[in-house]
């Protein structure tokens, strides 16, 4: 009796695998929706549109970008988590939607680990630590010393509470041993403007946004948050080498699909997206913007999400940051 049950179970399992393989072989047979949790024109949106164009060509089906802004990406994340796990709904996730939101929200309506199957990282981008020209320093070491000695606190801007941009600066504060006042804005454009006009004295800003301002003399760049210097800005030292040993923080984005999506489909998407990211035109553009194309395996991406979630949970705890 037991033997027959085991044989029956094995047959059912093999049938399920065969069915998944057949489905994957026929995939895709209709248009694919690529959900972005932010408005058109932002970093997530631009990368999603770049990838969608390449996937449309390689998969032979239209990949349509669907912008669903709201709740710092939460609205879109919930939508994708509830979508059928058939490979026809992709999510342009980010460091906030897949890692930091877990610690920032007491009742997050989705679980990044439980509700999604990771496909791959699409891009990784450091920030530039920039200051207003009125701050009388020319090096990061001098800035840290001034922040420690001054009788008043410096203000620093973020592109919004709880995202990678905000928490990267909180980590910098902690590791540098300085105290600054957080002033959140509604995005990178407002954040950059606030620094230029002097509403705040310091901010971490995306490379492609801040370098033109530094080169025009509107801002001073003191350091880069990545572990290595950037080829497009070789004179900018890393924060770790300039003043805060061990410091590293990187913004990242990646593609996930609803949990339960057949492995063969996840693997197919991974192969095609990695190929898109390393196409000469895409790679050249990303590198010129200070970004590194992704393409790691689904398993590696899953491990990365877990490690990033733990890292930023500790920063949230130390900083006392709360979602607004």
The H or E element that residue 194 is part of is helix 188-197
Instruction: Report the C-alpha gap between 40 and 115 in whole angstroms.
Output: 25
Classify domain 127-242 at the CATH superfamily level. Periplasmic binding protein-like II (3.40.190.10)
pTM across the whole model? 0.85
48, HSE (Cβ side, Cα atoms, 13 Å): 30
CATH 3.40.190.150 range(s) for the chain read 2-125+251-319
Q: What DSSP string runs through 302-322?
A: HHHHHHHHHHHHHHHHHHT--
* The pLDDT of residue 152: 72
Q: 3-class SS at 112?
A: coil
3-state helix, strand, coil in the chain (%, to 5): 50, 20, 30
Q: Which two tokens stand for residue 23?
A: 């489905």
Domain 2-125+251-319 fold: D-Maltodextrin-Binding Protein; domain 2 (3.40.190)
Backbone angles phi, psi at 81, to 5 degrees: -60, -30
Give the number of other CB atoms < 10 A from CB of residue 203: 28
* The pLDDT of residue 24: 64
CATH 3.40.190.10 range(s) for the chain read 127-242
pLDDT digit of tens for each residue in the chain (324 aa)?
445 544 444 554 444 444 455 556 789 999 999 999 988 877 788 899 999 999 999 999 999 999 998 887 899 999 999 999 999 999 999 999 999 999 988 899 999 999 999 999 999 999 999 999 999 999 999 999 999 997 778 999 998 888 888 999 999 999 999 999 999 988 888 899 999 999 999 999 988 889 999 999 999 999 999 999 999 999 999 999 999 999 999 999 999 999 999 999 999 999 999 999 999 999 999 988 889 999 999 999 999 999 999 999 999 988 887 776
Backbone angles phi, psi at 231, to 5 degrees: -65, -30
């Amino acid at each position: 009796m037991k033997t027959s049950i085991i044989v029956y179970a094995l047959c059912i399992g093999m049938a399920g695998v065969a069915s998944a393989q057949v489905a994957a072989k026929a995939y895709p047979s209709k248009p694919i929706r690529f959900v972005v949790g932010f408005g058109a024109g932002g970093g997530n949106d631009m990368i999603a549109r770049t990838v969608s164009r390449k996937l449309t060509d390689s998969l032979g089906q239209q990949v349509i970008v669907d912008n669903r802004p709201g709740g710092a990406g939460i609205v879109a994340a919930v939508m994708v988590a509830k979508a059928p796990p058939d490979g026809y709904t992709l999510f342009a996730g980010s460091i906030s939607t897949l890692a930091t939101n877990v610690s920032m929200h007491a009742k997050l309506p989705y679980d990044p680990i439980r509700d999604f199957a990771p496909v791959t990282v699409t891009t990784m981008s450091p920030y530039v630590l920039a200051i207003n020209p009125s701050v009388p320093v020319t090096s990061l070491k001098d800035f840290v010393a001034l922040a420690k000695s001054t009788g008043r606190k410096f203000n620093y801007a973020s592109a919004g509470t709880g995202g990678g941009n905000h928490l990267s600066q909180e980590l910098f504060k902690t590791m540098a041993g300085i105290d600054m006042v957080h002033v959140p804005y509604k995005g990178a454009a407002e954040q950059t403007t606030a620094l230029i006009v002097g509403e705040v004295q310091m901010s971490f800003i995306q490379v492609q946004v801040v370098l033109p301002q530094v080169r025009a003399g509107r801002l001073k760049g003191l350091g880069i948050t990545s572990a290595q210097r950037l080829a497009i800005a070789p004179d900018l030292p890393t924060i770790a080498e300039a003043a805060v040993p061990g410091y590293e923080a990187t913004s990242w984005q990646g593609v996930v699909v609803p949990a339960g999506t057949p492995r063969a489909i996840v693997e197919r998407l991974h192969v095609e997206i990695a190929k898109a990211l390393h196409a000469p035109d895409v790679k050249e553009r990303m590198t010129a913007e200070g970004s590194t194309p992704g393409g790691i395996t689904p398993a590696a991406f899953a491990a990365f999400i877990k490690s990033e979630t733990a890292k930023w949970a500790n920063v949230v705890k130390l900083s006392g940051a709360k979602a607004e």
